[in-house]
């Protein structure tokens, strides 16, 4: 059994590597044409995909929560959205071959830094089947082959989507094998992928903290950590209270299940009595449960917060609230408990805003705005493959360029080194 | 014993992390001033450093080769060179805080991408004590704390250099603990560093293939692979023979012990009879031993090459030579056996030159020039910390900017997401 799993993963790795070497030099129009074919094919084969998706739903019913079941469910509208996403990618500029720097050296050598594909990208994700289409589209655009490994709940949907996309890509002249799905649902397949340095250039895990820790602890292939967001909003003593209430409400309530939602609200002691009752009213109307520190609980009704709450990504209508004595205490709390994702200060004090931007160590740091904006589309980068919370290679929302590397190209005329 | 080692490494990690949070926002002039003090202090304390270096040399005598003993040896001139290197770093622009992109979104948010330090950098290197000074200088300039782990042969020299640099830095107002040296010579200390994700942001191994493999296979901290260079030069059928001879000779002979030196020469069949005897004469005058494929051995005298030779970084006056039938065969050989470091084609054929640049997957790809130019100084990037052979984060010579990350900074005015 273990042997078979290893064999499937290795074989798909080998095919992806082969395809990637050809994909490196496919011209832009051909890639964009293939992406449009892939989008059309998703819509043309919607019935097939929905039938397969039904199988996943039947198997999952009663085993996973309603929210998860909803994430798993496809319908015509969602398939059309996947197709539009790929069409949008097709319409973007092709970054492959872009030269980001070019200089002529005193000895006459011309040295350029050229953007090139990474090669083969492994994506390990949980149950949303739309990731299959997004990831395949972005990887192909960037000139990479991709090996997908989705959650076992969505295996029938993912298999159907990958088959449709892969056939359309090959028919449109893409190298065969550029889009691979690991079909074994056994978790051992993930372990194999993580050690496949010869065939995979980078692995991007998308999912909860458990998956991401497993991947970063066990991979020998380079990885990009994504997504875990224990995000804070700090309401400084000089905050505009109306802005503060609107932003805090939005950061918690607009979409609580995502990584850029607020999990802990920090409030300066000097403004707590004015601010907390106002935000509390709106949050409670939306059904938010508050877990407060002792000072918070003297001002508003709240469950007592325990130490663990400061480190928890609730992804739910739960909010930890802490009153702090200074901006220093707020920054120290964030740098200790945050996951370096998205952090905001609400302040009218110029120096405090600047200090927060300088001293908070996170992928996205805000003054007077909701952390919910951390997103490739919102930042104007186009479609995104995830949000990196590590510092190496890419940080924050990752678009097509973050799925690429560079190489130096040197044009000489017989130069050798003295 | 293991407990003590772990304790030393963890404690130094903790101190480095603390220092790194302060270093992030030290102004440029203060950093540059400290770097100049560090340089002066190296020269002022030359006697102390040389005395300690003598101890290393005495211990190593008879145990390591003459070449390695030479690398270990310091003298006044070498100490002055270390000092000049740090002064040069002090004179460079400070990239901390540079904004690489800034855009105003339709909702009024201003989103910038700002260059920030990585945090704490671990450098694991072999016996050259000058790396201690270079690495400390580059890391401080980029706003990072650094944990150094040099080879055990150089422990007295490294301890002395680090003490001198660290004292000078602290006296000049840098946060204490920014420059750390692991003093335990036990290899277990390296194992501890590799797993210290809370305290080290990235580890850069500098040394032979053994060290680099050990690090990349065992680290959970992100790493940047450096330096192993199995570099090729391909002499195409249309090559200018004089240029080809000069470049091939230079790439092999000028400094054979470094990573950008040529290890295998590939020669197109149609030019082999004209080219090989000419280059052979010059190489043999320089004492180069040639290991040739059967076709090579029909044209020039050479030892028979074995399969392993195509994968070996000789770092010596040894050269593998293979005659190939086409540019396709040359590119396939390089992509199979190369280490993605530096690769060159010598050709007068425009299309072949362009194809080579496109299809060879390496950090630096040359047309008509020696691979020996792959170097931060030669490329005009300034001092370098090593040459990355991986695709993630940095590729090719790494300067100060490659020791940095970015963060998004967002200036709002009360915006929340609809």
Residues carrying CATH 3.40.309.10, chain B:
231-372
In 3-state terms, what secondary structure has residue B306?
coil
Of A118, A391, A417, nearest to B391 by CB-CB distance is A118
Give residues 14 to 53 of A whose Cβ lies within 8 Å of B. Answer: 21, 24-25
pLDDT at A385 > cutoff 80: yes
All residues of chain B having their beta carbon less than 8 Å from the beta carbon of residue A407 are 361-365, 395-396
- Which pLDDT score, from 0 to 100, does residue A67 have? 76
Is A413 in contact with B368 (Cβ distance < 8 A)? Answer: yes
Residues 6+ apart with CB under 8 A from A32: A90, A91, A94, A141
The predicted model gives A275-302 an average pLDDT of 98
pLDDT at B51 > cutoff 90: yes
pLDDT averaged over chain A?
94
- Which pLDDT score, from 0 to 100, does residue A70 have? 86
Q: What is the pLDDT of residues A252-261, one digit of tens each?
A: 999 998 899 9
Angle between helices B130-141 and B76-90 (to 10 degrees): 10
Interatomic CA distance for residues A412 and B370, integer angstroms: 9
- Determine which of A294-308, B197-211, B359-373 has the lowest per-residue pLDDT on average: B197-211
All residues of chain A having their beta carbon less than 8 Å from the beta carbon of residue B396 are 406-408
**DSSP3 helix / strand / coil % (chain A, rounded to 5):** 45, 20, 30
Q: Exposed (0-12), middle (13-18) or buried (19+): which is B63, by Cβ within 10 Å?
A: exposed
Q: What is the pLDDT of residues B176-202, one digit of tens each?
A: 999 999 999 898 999 999 999 989 999
All residues of chain A having their beta carbon less than 8 Å from the beta carbon of residue B416 are 246-247, 249-251, 254, 369-370, 372
How distant is the Cα of A88 from the closest Cα of chain B, in angstroms? 19
Q: Which CATH architecture has domain B2-224+392-411?
A: 3-Layer(aba) Sandwich (3.40)
- Which pLDDT score, from 0 to 100, does residue B19 have? 96
φ, ψ of residue A365 in degrees (nearest 5): -120, 125
Report whether A233 contacts A265 (CB < 8 A). yes
Check CB contact of B145 with chain A, cutoff 8 Å. Answer: no
Segment of A223-227, B146-150, B219-223 carrying the highest mean pLDDT: B146-150
- Determine which of A116-125, A224-233, A358-367, B63-72 has the lowest per-residue pLDDT on average: B63-72
- The kind and range of the H/E element at B80 are helix B76-90
The hierarchical CATH code for the domain B231-372 is: 3.40.309.10
Total residue length of chain A = 418
Check CB contact of B351 with chain A, cutoff 8 Å. Answer: no
The predicted model gives A60-68 an average pLDDT of 85
Angle at B313 between CA B402 and CA A11, to 5 degrees: 80
- Which pLDDT score, from 0 to 100, does residue A317 have? 95
Take residue B222 and report the two structure tokens written for it.
């992100």
Is B395 in contact with A372 (Cβ distance < 8 A)? Answer: no
- Which pLDDT score, from 0 to 100, does residue B191 have? 94
Instruction: Give residue for tokens 């302040």.
Output: A347
- Which pLDDT score, from 0 to 100, does residue B319 have? 98
How distant is the Cα of A378 from the closest Cα of chain B, in angstroms? 8
In 3-state terms, what secondary structure has residue A392?
coil
Angle between helices A269-285 and A241-253 (to 10 degrees): 50
Of A109, A365, A416, nearest to B250 by CB-CB distance is A416
- Which pLDDT score, from 0 to 100, does residue B383 have? 80
Quote the DSSP letter at residue A380: T
Interatomic CA distance for residues A267 and B69, integer angstroms: 61
The predicted model gives A363-371 an average pLDDT of 98
Is A380 in contact with B105 (Cβ distance < 8 A)? Answer: yes
Take residue B338 and report the two structure tokens written for it.
């190369």
Q: Are strands B303-304 and B289-292 parallel, antiparallel or unpaired?
A: parallel
pLDDT at A1 > cutoff 70: no
The predicted model gives B77-90 an average pLDDT of 95
Residue of A nearest to B214 (CA): A220
Residues 6+ apart with CB under 8 A from A273: A299
- Which pLDDT score, from 0 to 100, does residue B1 have? 62
- Which pLDDT score, from 0 to 100, does residue A383 have? 80
In 3-state terms, what secondary structure has residue B359?
helix
DSSP assignments along B360-389, one per residue? --SSEEEEEE-GGG-STTTTTS-S-SEEE-
In 3-state terms, what secondary structure has residue B131?
helix
φ, ψ of residue B186 in degrees (nearest 5): -60, 135
The percent of residues above 70 in pLDDT, for chain A, comes to 100
Residues carrying CATH 3.40.605.10, chain A:
2-226
Q: Which CATH architecture has domain A231-373?
A: 3-Layer(aba) Sandwich (3.40)
Q: pTM for this structure?
A: 0.89
- Which pLDDT score, from 0 to 100, does residue A68 have? 81
Interatomic CA distance for residues B367 and A409, integer angstroms: 8
* Chain-centre distance for alpha carbon B221: 18
The predicted model gives A178-190 an average pLDDT of 93
pLDDT at B227 > cutoff 90: no
Residues carrying CATH 3.40.605.10, chain B:
2-224+392-411
Give residues 354 to 393 of A whose Cβ lies within 8 Å of B. Answer: 357-359, 361-370, 372-374, 378-380, 390-393
Residue of B nearest to A366 (CA): B410
1.10.579.10, 3.40.605.10, 3.10.20.30, 3.30.565.10: CATH of A2-226: 3.40.605.10
pLDDT averaged over chain B?
94
Give residues 273 to 302 of B whose Cβ lies within 8 Å of A. Answer: none
Report whether A140 contacts A92 (CB < 8 A). no
């Amino acid at each position: 059994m273990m042997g078979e799993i290893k064999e499937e993963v290795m074989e798909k790795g080998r095919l992806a590597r082969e395809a990637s070497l050809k994909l490196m030099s496919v011209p832009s129009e051909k890639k964009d044409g293939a992406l449009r074919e892939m989008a059309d094919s998703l819509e043309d084969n919607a019935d097939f995909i929905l039938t397969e998706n039904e199988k996943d739903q039947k198997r999952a019913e009663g085993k996973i929560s309603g929210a998860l079941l909803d994430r798993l469910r496809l319908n015509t509208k969602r398939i059309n959205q996947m197709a539009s996403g790929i069409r949008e990618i097709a319409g973007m500029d092709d970054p492959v071959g872009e030269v980001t720097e070019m200089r002529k050296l005193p000895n006459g050598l011309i040295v350029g830094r050229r953007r090139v594909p990474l090669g083969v990208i492994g994506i390990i994700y949980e149950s949303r089947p739309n990731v299959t289409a997004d990831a395949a589209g972005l990887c192909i655009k960037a000139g990479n082959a991709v090996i997908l490994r989705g959650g076992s709940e969505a295996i029938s949907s993912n298999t159907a989507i990958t088959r449709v996309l892969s056939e359309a890509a090959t028919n449109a002249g893409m190298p065969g094998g550029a889009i691979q799905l690991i079909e074994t649902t056994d978790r051992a397949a993930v372990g194999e992928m993580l050690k496949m340095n010869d065939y995979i250039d980078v692995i991007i895990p998308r999912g909860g903290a458990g998956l991401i820790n497993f991947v970063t602890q066990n991979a020998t292939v380079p990885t990009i950590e994504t997504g875990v967001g224990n995000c804070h909003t700090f309401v400084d003593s000089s905050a505009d209270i109306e802005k503060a209430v609107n932003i805090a409400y939005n950061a918690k309530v607009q979409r609580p299940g995502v990584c850029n939602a607020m999990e802990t609200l920090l409030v300066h002691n000097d403004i707590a009595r004015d601010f907390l009752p106002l935000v509390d009213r709106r949050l409670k109307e939306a059904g938010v449960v508050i877990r407060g520190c002792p000072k918070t609980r003297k001002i508003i009704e709240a469950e007592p917060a325990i130490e663990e709450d400061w480190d928890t990504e609730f992804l739910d209508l739960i909010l930890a609230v802490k009153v702090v004595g200074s901006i220093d205490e707020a920054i120290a709390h964030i740098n200790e408990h945050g996951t370096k994702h998205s952090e905001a200060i609400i302040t009218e004090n110029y120096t405090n805003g600047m200090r927060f931007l300088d001293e908070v160590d996170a992928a996205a740091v805000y003054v007077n705005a909701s952390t919910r904006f951390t997103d490739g589309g919102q930042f104007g980068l186009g479609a995104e493959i995830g949000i990196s919370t590590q510092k190496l290679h890419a940080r924050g929302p990752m678009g097509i360029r973050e799925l690429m590397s560079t190489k130096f190209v040197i044009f000489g005329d017989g130069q050798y080194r003295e």
